[in-house]
Structure 1
Amino acid sequence: MRALVALAFLAVIMSLSGCDLLSEQTDEYVLRGNTMGTSYTIKALHARGKVDEEALYHDIKKTLDEANDKLNNWTDDSEISAFNASSTTNWLEISPPFLEVLKESQRIHDQSNGRFDITLSPLIDMWGFGPGDRDTAPSEVEIQAALNNVGQSELLEIRDNPPGIRKKKAPVSINLGAIAKGYSADLIARTLEKHGISNYLVEIGGDLIAHGNNDYGVPWRVGIEKPDEKGRSVQLIVSVRDMGMATSGDYRNFYLDEDGQRMSHIIDPVTGHPARHNLASVTVLAPSGMRADGLATALLVLGEKAGRALANKLSIPAYFITREADGFATSSSDAFDALMAAN
């Protein structure tokens, strides 16, 4: 089996016409590049002549480099890779950013009854979505063996002072792929704020955080992609201001097994199998990019019915697209409906 590497979300930044342009008094700063195995786009507005763009670029690059050094699973010398390679079950000191992501991960894990889990790596690899390929589906014996090292609430301990983490079994490993991009977008937002910029949109691999207005003086307009693996088009355009937004979907990173069943990279940490339901994508808006990122994954694993119930319970703005025989159907949480009505 071959793991397909692709984005689960297409961020389409939209503009509105018929509004007074802010650009007469502001400069637009746009920066694009690559980080954490994906691409990023930063679009910011600032008062003309008030921001040192060279210093801003330096600080953004420094922020991204530090996030990579701590949180990525793609290089052997990152902080998280060092933790994964360690065979000790003693306490290990960690950086404050690592601790911040771990605490939010644990919060989402608890709120989703374990459907979001950062110790999922053994199952991700086993189903062919890790660094290696598989030619056959794992057996139930293999799945159950992998599940022995999955379950962050039982297998990880976290402490605040000094920041630290301890694994309870030596083979336990962490993968932050479902939350680190959103957190990195938050870090960039903090960097922009330090430079006095309050109107911006930061997008990393489809996860984003937006603040203030775009250059037309209205909230940032972002497109939610239709979950169609055959092409790219926009399902819905939403206004995003002072919040993070993330979409998780099964339509880019998947394969068909020998029976023609869709095997998605969205693995259920409880069953050990790829999620089996007709929910194709879920978009979440939250106070931070990190929380939106993690919650989108959790709700996708749960499926439309259970995911929408949890979103309503926690007042999470969430938009669901399900795959039907004749196309796609949509639904949304009460908080999402209220947010759209207010915009």
Structure 2
Amino acid sequence: MRLFFRLIPVVIGLFALAGCDLFSEQTDEYLLRGNTMGTSYTIKALHARGKVDEEALYYDIKATLDAANEAMSNWKDESEISIFNISSSTDWLSTSDSFHEVLQEAQTIHELSGGRFDITVSPLVDLWGFGPEDNDNPPTDAQIRAAMADVGQSTLLDVKSDPPMVRKNKPGVTITLGAIAKGYSADLIGRTLAKHGIKNYLVEIGGDLMVHGLNSMGEPWQIGIEKPDEAGRSVQLVLPVSDMGIATSGDYRNFYFNDEGQRMSHIIDPLTGRPVTHNLASVTVLAPDGMRADGMATALLVLGEKDGRALADKLDIPAYFIRREESGFVTSSSKAFDALMAAKK
């Protein structure tokens, strides 16, 4: 029997979650919380009282989140992604602009990461017991090879822009956007807030964030990186951030121990077909938008600390790594991260 651990998101926004929806009675802050994409969201916008139509803003945010779900939710039978996954056709299928935007970014991150980020990885995730159904028996080599026949974004998935379309090159191919969709949705909410003239805001969806401008103290937003300890919650580092997306990918909130007592991470390397075995516990990435931060955090976690930091340095990506050692947690960071933090002092 396996012991599963599936807990909470891995980025902590250090801001007040208490309060009512819409405007706070004491301040001009707009606070909105709810559920979307199988997780929770929090939106905090500053200096908005008397400057925006509250009702129009609320419904625009709701429409934005609804549209994201209609495009990218694997749990909605009529969503674009579900229709694509169910179809056995290898013909080109038209996509919405938002679905196409995410697919294009997924292709870019796949290429930049040498295939370590792969939205066709679902057969392997399911095989190792991290999908909707448990799998108490470790897969055989033959089962892994069979699952990998339907994994491989660069050869099994094509995306084009004019017009926006996607096609699978094998009938059984499916995709999942769980490692990129929350960051993209945070970006969409940021665009919606900007459309209403709001310049200072924080959007958090399932632990992925997009922040813009300054907080209520007139300073960069203070974002906490969680220590990757499954035994409890504490902050490893606080980052002062403005005008960036932030995402953390970790192995400590979704794992199990197999019958031999081996820790099995839910992070699957699509090139080996197996859970990663390195000791990297979490990676935090900062990027110009939440979608790039979300996807690159997953890619760097799959790569591991050494290769992940090398790629971050090559691509000038601010990234913060926490690895697990017997003596405790040890941190390292990319050159771009060090430069960014130095500039904030």
> What is the TM-score with the length of structure 2 in the denominator?
0.95
Q: What is the rounded CA distance, in whole Å, between the counterparts of 1:96 and 1:68 in structure 2?
A: 14
1:76 Cα deviation after fit: 1.4
SS in 2 for 1:263: strand
Q: What code does the residue aligned with 1:320 have?
A: F
User: What pairs up with 1:195-234 in 2 under 5 angstroms?
Assistant: 195-234=196-235
Aligned to 2:243: 242
SS in 1 for 2:34: strand
Aligned to 1:258: 259
Question: C-alpha offsets along residues 73-115 of structure 1, whole Å, 9 cap, x if unaligned?
Answer: 1221211001000010011111110110011101100000000
SS in 2 for 1:146: helix
Q: What code does the residue aligned with 2:262 have?
A: Q
Q: What is the rounded CA distance, in whole Å, between the counterparts of 1:52 and 1:3 in structure 2?
A: 46
* Contact 2:4-2:257 within 8 A present in 1 as well: no
SS in 2 for 1:11: strand
Q: What code does the residue aligned with 1:217 have?
A: G
Which has the larger displacement, 246-255 or 5-14?
A: 5-14
1:3 Cα deviation after fit: 5.8
1:6 Cα deviation after fit: 2.8
Aligned to 2:176: 175
Aligned to 1:143: 144
Aligned to 1:62: 63
Aligned to 1:269: 270
Structure 1 residues 72 and 289 mapped into 2: Cα distance closer, same or farther (>3 Å)?
same
1:175 Cα deviation after fit: 0.4
SS in 2 for 1:27: coil
Q: What is the rounded CA distance, in whole Å, between the counterparts of 1:104 and 1:292 in structure 2?
A: 11
Residue 61 of structure 2 is aligned to residue 73 of structure 1:
no
1:7 Cα deviation after fit: 3.1
Structure 2: state its 5+ residue gaps: 17-23
* Contact 1:26-1:47 within 8 A present in 2 as well: no
SS in 2 for 1:329: strand
Q: What is the rounded CA distance, in whole Å, between the counterparts of 2:13 and 2:242 in structure 1?
A: 15
Q: What is the rounded CA distance, in whole Å, between the counterparts of 2:48 and 2:10 in structure 1?
A: 31
> What is the TM-score with the length of structure 1 in the denominator?
0.95
Q: Which runs of 4+ in 1 moved over 2 A?
A: 1-8
Structure 1 residues 76 and 319 mapped into 2: Cα distance closer, same or farther (>3 Å)?
same
Q: What is the rounded CA distance, in whole Å, between the counterparts of 1:106 and 1:242 in structure 2?
A: 24
Q: What is the rounded CA distance, in whole Å, between the counterparts of 1:3 and 1:96 in structure 2?
A: 37
1:4 Cα deviation after fit: 4.5
Q: What code does the residue aligned with 2:126 have?
A: D
* Contact 1:228-1:251 within 8 A present in 2 as well: yes
1:219 Cα deviation after fit: 0.6
SS in 1 for 2:275: coil
Aligned to 2:295: 294
Question: C-alpha offsets along residues 295-335 of structure 1, whole Å, 9 cap, x if unaligned?
Answer: 00000000000000000000000000000001100000000
* Contact 2:11-2:247 within 8 A present in 1 as well: no
Q: What is the rounded CA distance, in whole Å, between the counterparts of 1:232 and 1:245 in structure 2?
A: 19
Q: What is the rounded CA distance, in whole Å, between the counterparts of 1:7 and 1:86 in structure 2?
A: 33
Q: What is the rounded CA distance, in whole Å, between the counterparts of 1:81 and 1:6 in structure 2?
A: 26
Structure 1 residues 2 and 172 mapped into 2: Cα distance closer, same or farther (>3 Å)?
farther
* Contact 1:264-1:274 within 8 A present in 2 as well: yes
Q: What is the rounded CA distance, in whole Å, between the counterparts of 1:331 and 1:5 in structure 2?
A: 26
1:260 Cα deviation after fit: 1.3
Which has the larger displacement, 255-264 or 108-117?
A: 255-264
Q: What code does the residue aligned with 2:121 have?
A: L
Q: What is the rounded CA distance, in whole Å, between the counterparts of 1:329 and 1:256 in structure 2?
A: 23
* Percent of residue pairs identical: 69
1:10 Cα deviation after fit: 3.4
Q: What code does the residue aligned with 1:256 have?
A: F
Residue 245 of structure 2 is aligned to residue 278 of structure 1:
no
SS in 1 for 2:29: strand
Structure 1: state its 5+ residue gaps: 16-22
User: What pairs up with 1:38-57 in 2 under 5 angstroms?
Assistant: 38-57=39-58
Aligned to 2:162: 161
Q: What code does the residue aligned with 1:175 have?
A: T
Q: What code does the residue aligned with 1:248 have?
A: S
Question: C-alpha offsets along residues 252-290 of structure 1, whole Å, 9 cap, x if unaligned?
Answer: 000011121111111000000001100000000001000
Q: What code does the residue aligned with 2:162 have?
A: N
Q: What code does the residue aligned with 1:93 have?
A: S
1:60 Cα deviation after fit: 0.2
Q: What code does the residue aligned with 1:206 have?
A: G
Which has the larger displacement, 84-93 or 43-52?
A: 43-52
Aligned to 2:342: 341
